[in-house]
Structure formats: structure tokens, C-alpha cells
Amino acid sequence: GAGVSQSPSNKVTEKGKDVELRCDPISGHTALYWYRQSLGQGLEFLIYFQGNSAPDKSGLPSDRFSAERTGGSVSTLTIQRTQQEDSAVYLCASSLEGNRRNTEAFFGQGTRLTVV
Amino acid sequence: GNSVTQMEGPVTLSEEAFLTINCTYTATGYPSLFWYVQYPGEGLQLLLKATKADDKGSNKGFEATYRKETTSFHLEKGSVQVSDSAVYFCALGAMNTGFQKLVFGTGTRLLVSP
């Protein structure tokens, strides 16, 4: 597609429920990233995919968070047993390649998650 | 660890004023440095970048120079427009943690009035 597409754009969920956030990267981009943007923490790295594998998961805040990528394309971020502190904007980005000094990451508009 | 510090906002300017948004960093080795911009209702966009000391990144009238001696990457524009109103993020990527993991500053909101 023309840009990175994320869905849904907004999600309100009850505490304790599971949620899935979807990211459709730019066609041909091998690298995909998830970030979280929250008032208290700013922009935080969550996970990096190169193809379908995730060589860097260091930013996932707990084992309630997981992500997968299939076909070297679409990625899903899953949050189990959501907590109020999970409320944030979840941003997805992609780039032609990952882990390069001059990598340019293209970001989606994000999914605003509100846990009530 | 690696970190980015940028000036608190909001920065409020009149159209055609000179803009500086300060950014300093702490990192091991020689990071790559970036400025991203987030316009209202839109996603983050790369504004400019510099990958080595003394490089100057520029785009849309904005400039920033990678200063190793002061560990800074200040964003400047000679004459701002109302359409420049947005949130600006300074970021770095470093070899010790992997260039894939961008570390962002907290963002600086710029408000330009006519």
C-alpha cells in the first residue's frame, strides 16, 4: 500500500480482556517495528521484526504482550488481560531494511487503545 | 543507557520567526540522529537525519547539524509558517543497542500563529 496502515484506529476495551492490533506495512519493507506512545513514558520501542522473525523483543513490557508477523507482511500485536496502564497509542513502522545506520522508518497513524 | 533530551514545549512563535528546538543526546559510540514530526491527526514522519559527525540534515527549510563535541542535534528554521505547527521528536539509533531501536525524546510542540 501507499503507507503503513494500522487497524483499528481506536479501541476501547474492558480491563482483563484481550486485544489484537493489526499493522500492514509498506509493500516490500522487510523490517517492521512496534512502538508505544503514552503520556507518562513518551515513545517506547516494543519489538522489531526482520522478515517473520523478531530478533529484538527487548521492549515488550511483560509476558502479556506478544507479536507475530506472517508472510513477511502483516503483523499483529496482542495484549492479553489488558490493564489500565496499557492505555496508549500503539504505533507501527516499517522500513526497507532494519538495523542500518541510515534506516528510514515510516510510521502508521497508530491505534489508540483505552482500557476502562 | 542511550537517551535523548529535548526542550520542553510548547514553543509559541509568530509566523516568519526563527525557530530553534534544542536536542542533546547520550549514547555509546556514534549514533545516527533523526528529527521526526507529527502533524495534528497524522503519523510520525521523518523530517531529516544525520548519520555521522558534522553532517547536516535538511528538509523543508529545516536544518540540524550533528555536533559530536556538544552531543547535540538542534533543529532550526529561519522563518516558520503556520503549517509548521506540530510536535517535533528528536531520536537516535545506536550500534550498541541496534539501529532498529530508535530512542526518542519526549517531543516539543510548536505553535505558530499568523
Chain A residues with CB inside 8 Å of B103's CB? 45
Asked if residues B30 and B99 have their Cβ atoms less than 8 Å apart, the reply is no
Give the nearest chain B residue to A91 (CA atoms): B43
pLDDT at A116 over 60: yes
State residue A104's pLDDT score: 87
Size of interface A-B (CB pairs under 8 A): 62
State residue B65's pLDDT score: 98
Helix (H, G, I), strand (E, B) or coil at A96: coil
In this structure, what is the dihedral angle of CA atoms A68, A72, A75, A81, given to the nearest 10 degrees?
-10
State residue A1's pLDDT score: 52
Mutate to test the interface with A, among B3, B6, B100 (most CBs of A within 10 A): B100
Q: What is the DSSP string of B22-82?
A: -EEEE-SS--EEEEEEE-TTS-EEEEEEE-STT-EEEETTEEEE-BTTTTB--EEESS--G
CB atoms within 10 A of CB B112: 19
Mean residue pLDDT of chain A comes to 93
pLDDT digit string, tens, across residues B50-97: 999 999 999 999 999 999 999 999 999 999 999 999 999 999 998 877
Report how far residue A97's alpha carbon sits from residue A83's, in angstroms, rounded to the nearest whole number: 33
Asked if residues A68 and A76 have their Cβ atoms less than 8 Å apart, the reply is yes
Cell numbers representing residue A73 in the block: 507482511
pLDDT digit string, tens, across residues B32-45: 999 999 998 888 99
Cell numbers representing residue B16 in the block: 516568519
**Least confident segment among A51-60, A91-100, B95-104:** B95-104
